[in-house]
Amino acid sequence: MNNPKKTCSFQGHEKIPSNIYCISCNIYMCQKCESFHSKLLPNHKIYNIDKINLEEISQQLCNEEKHNLELQYFCKNHNILCCAKCITKIKNKENGLHKDCDIYTIEEIKEEKMNKLNKNINNLELLSKNLEESINKLKDIYEKLNKNKEDVKTHIQRIFTKIRNELNSREDSLLIEVDQIYNKYFFGEDIIKQGEKLPNKIKRSLEKCKIIGNYNEENKIISLINECLTIENSIDEINKINDSINKCNNLTNIDIVFIPKEENDTQINNIIQNINNFGHVFKSNDLFINSSIINNVLNKQNILANWIKEAVNKTNISSKLIFKMSIHGDKSEDFHKYCDNQGPTLILIQTTTNKIFGGFTPLNWKNEEKPLDPKNHTFIFSLDLNKKYKMVNPNKQAIKTSKDFGPNFGNDDIQLKKNLRQGICYSDDSCNFIVSGGTQLTGGKGSQEDFSVKELEVYQINY
């Protein structure tokens, strides 16, 4: 069996090779020790080392710490083999982990496990036939997903590199602009440097003129003229310096500033906020991937998706943004141009006070007298309250589709006017969704509340 040679476990026999192993005592014995052991403990299980596999024997022992007893029982609660210590239950003593479990002897559970083994062998054989193909498919899926991950990361890096380049370019142009303005309206450092040299230059010219003697000598006249020209140039330079000083004196109360001037300026905060909100990572099948109203509120998206699935009794739905007020226009005719005859739609409204509500209907937005929804799929909702409102009476009209209004649910439960930026909510006994309790959608307490629309989104829902 190629078992590693062990020596006898008894004291004084450590150098004598063993040929017997007792699984009950977990000891190795030489031939002499085994003869005494068998007489004293005849019921213990002993094995000839040359005829057994010690690894297989060790699997028959409990691996719980300090147990090391033969596995004789089976725990159905945990579906595991255990030993006598595992099931002990002695008052005020350390009890076994399976003391309160449903325990069987190995013989009692043998037939059941054998039947299950045969069944599992058949299942494993069937699975193994397609295992290689399954692994290859798994590899293909992993490679595809990994490529998609790297493509998304590359896309993000490319966009932000472009943004950083634009920021650096803008910074450089502003710095150049500062230099140009200072040079145009004030004076450069070169004027100061020239001015510092000017007094000595003038002094030398004056001294030179005074020592010129006879003006009738030709070389003296030339020198005199040169010095006169030097003095004239010096006078011009002095006048330039004085002009610069006068100009600066007139501008003493004027500073060149950069707008925004303070680091906590609202404009900077808005830019930072826009950067923080720029870009979002979604699964491609997320319903509201293009929403600017709930694009970074995944729990709200999940709530909406579940409400729609529940309403239409479907597990798989998809969406497409077909109208966005900030892009397509803020008049009722703009809404009907893009949304009429598009099938089931979700209306998502964000007010200027940042209340978020809307409605879903399977009905078409088209000019119709009184569109009904007998299946009662239409509902309105408040995402602030995480609440959905179904129709009180499906025999009443679910929506109004007049060209003179935008989306209109029930009997003006939610109504957007000809100017989509203005709306009103009603909640009274004439309504079809919220009949009492105040206009909960807008946060008001009365039976009607006006509201102003910050953004309106309409999604075509497919299922």
pLDDT tens per residue across span 233-250 = 777 777 777 776 666 665
Compute the distance between CA of residue 339 and CA of residue 366 in angstroms, rounded to an integer: 9
Tell me if 144 is assigned to some domain.
Answer: no
Q: Are residues 404 and 458 in the same domain?
A: yes
Same domain, 229 and 319: no
Answer yes or no: are the C-beta atoms of 188 and 206 closer than 8 Å: no
User: Are both 420 and 321 inside the same structural domain?
Assistant: yes
Residue 144 scores a pLDDT above 90: no
**Looking at 101, 123, 145, which one is the last position of a domain?**
123
Confirm whether 296 is domain-assigned: yes
Q: Is residue 38 part of a domain?
A: yes
- pLDDT at residue 292 in the model: 87
Percent of the chain whose predicted confidence (pLDDT) is above 70 = 81
Of the candidates 92, 123, 154, which is a domain's last residue? 123
Using pLDDT thresholds of 50, 70 and 90, give the confidence band for residue 214. Answer: very low
Same domain? 297 vs 390: yes
Give me the residue label for tokens 């600066």. Answer: 248
Sign (positive or negative) of CA dihedral 388, 316, 288, 154: positive
Is residue 268 domain-resident?
A: no
Q: What is the mean pLDDT of residues 44-67?
A: 75
What is the reported pLDDT for 333?
94
Domain shared by 435 and 321, yes or no: yes
Token code pair at residue 397? 């009209």
Last residue of a domain, which of 123, 152, 169? 123
| Residues 301, 288 contacting (CB under 8 angstroms) | yes
* Whole-number pLDDT of residue 38: 86
Q: CB within 8 A of 17, min separation 6: which ones? A: 5, 6, 7, 8, 30
- Looking at the 3D structure of the chain, how many domains does it have? 3
Both 381 and 243 in one domain: the answer is no
CA distance 319 to 314: 14
Q: Give the pLDDT confidence score for residue 189 in this predicted structure.
A: 61
Task: Identify whether residues 62 and 209 lie together within a single domain.
Answer: no
**Residue 157 forms part of a structural domain:** no
196-200, 257-261, 431-435 — most confident range: 431-435
Tell whether 347 is covered by a domain: yes
Question: pTM above the 0.95 mark?
Answer: no
58-62, 161-165, 336-340, 430-434: least confident range: 58-62
Per-residue model confidence (pLDDT) at position 235:
76
| 441, 323: one domain | yes
For the ranges 171-180, 260-269, 330-339, 443-452, the lowest mean pLDDT is seen at: 260-269
Q: Which single residue is written with the structure tokens 């006048």? A: 239
Question: 17, 7 in Cβ contact below 8 A?
Answer: yes
| 352 and 398 co-located in one domain | yes
Any domain includes 273: no
For residue 396, count other CB atoms closer than 10 A to its CB: 16
Is the per-residue pLDDT at 285 higher than 90? no
Q: Give, for 444, the enclosing helix (H) or strand (E).
A: none
373 close to 363: Cβ distance less than 8 angstroms = yes
Q: By C-alpha distance, which of 463, 437, 125 is closest to 311?
A: 463
Q: Is residue 173 part of a domain?
A: no
Kindly tell me the burial class for residue 348, based on how many C-beta atoms sit within 10 Å of its own C-beta (0-12, 13-18, 19 or more): buried
| Structure tokens given for 330 | 């803020």
Task: Look at 151 and 204; give whichever has higher pLDDT.
Answer: 151
Q: Are 357 and 414 in contact (CB under 8 A)?
A: yes
Q: Are residues 393 and 432 in contact, defined by beta-carbon separation less than 8 angstroms?
A: yes
- What Å distances lie between residue 87 and 23, 58, 81, 105, 140, CA to CA? 19, 20, 11, 11, 48
Longest dimension (CA), the chain: 152
Q: Are 293 and 213 within one domain?
A: no
DSSP characters for 356-379? EEEEEESS--S--SS-B-TT---E
Task: Say whether pLDDT at 73 is over 80.
Answer: yes
Span of 92-101, 207-216, 258-267, 383-392 with lowest mean pLDDT: 207-216
pLDDT, tens digit, 9 for 90 and up, residues 4-13? 668 898 888 9
Pair 246, 294 in one domain: no
Tell the burial category of 89 from Cβ atoms under 10 Å away from its Cβ (0-12, 13-18, 19+): exposed
- Of residues 263 and 71, more confidence is placed in 71
What is the span of the domain harbouring residue 326? 287-462
Place 195 in a pLDDT band, splitting at 50, 70 and 90. Answer: low
pLDDT band at 337 (very low <50, low <70, confident <90, very high): very high
Q: Is residue 192 domain-shared with residue 302, that is, in the same domain?
A: no
- Pair 372, 397: CB distance under 8 Å: yes
Q: What does the alpha-carbon distance between residue 340 and residue 370 come to, in Å, rounded to a whole number?
A: 15
Average pLDDT score over the chain: 81
Give yes or no for a cis peptide into 394 (omega within 30° of 0). Answer: no
Exposed, middle or buried, 297 (CB in 10 Å: 0-12/13-18/19+)?
middle
